[in-house]
Structure 1
């Protein structure tokens, strides 16, 4: 995995640096005065109730929305002007939409991650080797020739992560990646993320499973339009941020958390 900046312009600075982000689709803000800094090598989980602005925040951080106020830098550049998109692997909630209509294999999806690196627009054997290595890293090399439409939810998620790795992404951003994935595959998926973080990848994860975020990530950001908590999982579990952010939509049962 390539843990260094392709241009060397952000080796010491944060990968994400957002200050005072505010954005609304109407007059009411969906994201209100949010500060968020993500440093290289961090594993950050964002949680919040439905409609709390989590996905919108990700799109602001990636420069896909223009904030109404505030600023955000992505890998050392204004997010809206950031051009080296291969340095960020973004797996959105609707990532499977286009592939469902395309007769494309797993290997072809992953190889797309090499296109920005292909000299003169030509994919070389070295590019194919890098894509194959990414498939091995996420444990689905045996699925290389299978159609993307034939995969389970967990296998598809691994395919998109492999595409990001093939593109030498420095930051992996995941929006609700375990929705529709069976419990056994969810555990294996989080094991994979643990391995990738240990190998130096930075991960920013929006996840509905609060327990998994507390157990797996190194830092919890609790959002409901504004940030209610940002810090270590143990401190979050001991705080009242969960109740304040979720209100009556949260219940605690037998030491677990149910939304």
Structure 2
């Protein structure tokens, strides 16, 4: 890495990857998130839970700099989120691919190779870039699907492909928005096992997830949100707290058997 590149990354070396302070945002006069603080350090595995319409996805978009907050601040890797330029350092997997991506006649390996584009000198993809993309596909367990069209994959397989793209791009932070929606239970278990392994290897993960049981079982920290933060701490303490009662207006774990909402 050049001295200039090292200097550009220096602000985030010792600080949190995500640093949100007093964040408030609303559509028209209605707040969607209000006075939210959230800091995510390197190597953390943070799950955000909350009822439908509680502002979870909006919070992720604010974290990523895709919305301008009404008040407060959001930083990514030590830089203002809205002005953050090194997007390859963040792997973002939305709830679903865009309509254009659904129509694109592109293979899985080509999707993953896109993660190397910011690293390719003069826009030229090298053999080393292709090797890294193949390694990423193997890491997420879909190397055998490399030549398949992305449109032919199941929801779970497609999510893995986009995670592989983030890994190929050497992302330091993986942000996932409802990654298991529409995915069968067996694939959900395998998906969370994959995330566990990536975190063990040093990746930082921030996800919004509707499966409260999976969040409690797999993550190292739970944030419960319903416009404001009702809880931020260890999963065991969350399960024993009244945060769900207050955020959802009911005891979700008791009524749903501690599995899904």
**In structure 2, do the counterparts of structure 1 residues 254 and 104 end up closer, same or farther at CA, with 3 Å as the change threshold?**
closer
Q: In 1, distance between residues paired with 2:52 and 2:255?
A: 20
Q: In 1, distance between residues paired with 2:205 and 2:168?
A: 16
Task: Please give the root-mean-square deviation of Cα atoms over the aligned residues, in Å.
Answer: 1.6
Gaps in structure 2 of 5+ consecutive residues:
1-5
SS of residue paired to 1:31:
strand
CA shift, 1:94, in A, is 2.8
Higher helix share: 2
Gaps in structure 1 of 5+ consecutive residues:
none
Contact 1:63 1:79 in 2 (8 A): yes
Q: Deviations over 1:116-173 (max 9, x none)?
A: 0000111111110110110111111110000001111111010000000000000000
Contact 2:11 2:79 in 1 (8 A): no
Q: Deviations over 1:31-58 (max 9, x none)?
A: 0000000000000000000000000000
SS of residue paired to 2:105:
coil
**In structure 2, do the counterparts of structure 1 residues 121 and 65 end up closer, same or farther at CA, with 3 Å as the change threshold?**
same
Residue number among 246, 249, 255 corresponding to 1:247 in the alignment? 249
CA shift, 1:196, in A, is 0.1
- How many residue pairs get matched? 256
Q: In 1, distance between residues paired with 2:210 and 2:100?
A: 24
Tell me what 1:235 maps to: 237
Tell me what 1:211 maps to: 213
Q: Deviations over 1:75-105 (max 9, x none)?
A: 1100000000000000011325322101000
SS of residue paired to 2:30:
coil
| Structure-to-structure mapping, 1:1-259, within 5 angstroms | 7-248=9-250, 250=252, 252-253=254-255, 255-259=257-261
Q: In 2, distance between residues paired with 1:5 and 1:145?
A: 39
Q: In 2, distance between residues paired with 1:147 and 1:6?
A: 37
- Per the normalisation by structure 1, the TM-score is 0.95
CA shift, 1:252, in A, is 1.6
CA shift, 1:249, in A, is 8.0
Q: Deviations over 1:176-220 (max 9, x none)?
A: 000011111100000000000000000001000011101110000
**In structure 2, do the counterparts of structure 1 residues 6 and 101 end up closer, same or farther at CA, with 3 Å as the change threshold?**
farther
- Per the normalisation by structure 2, the TM-score is 0.94
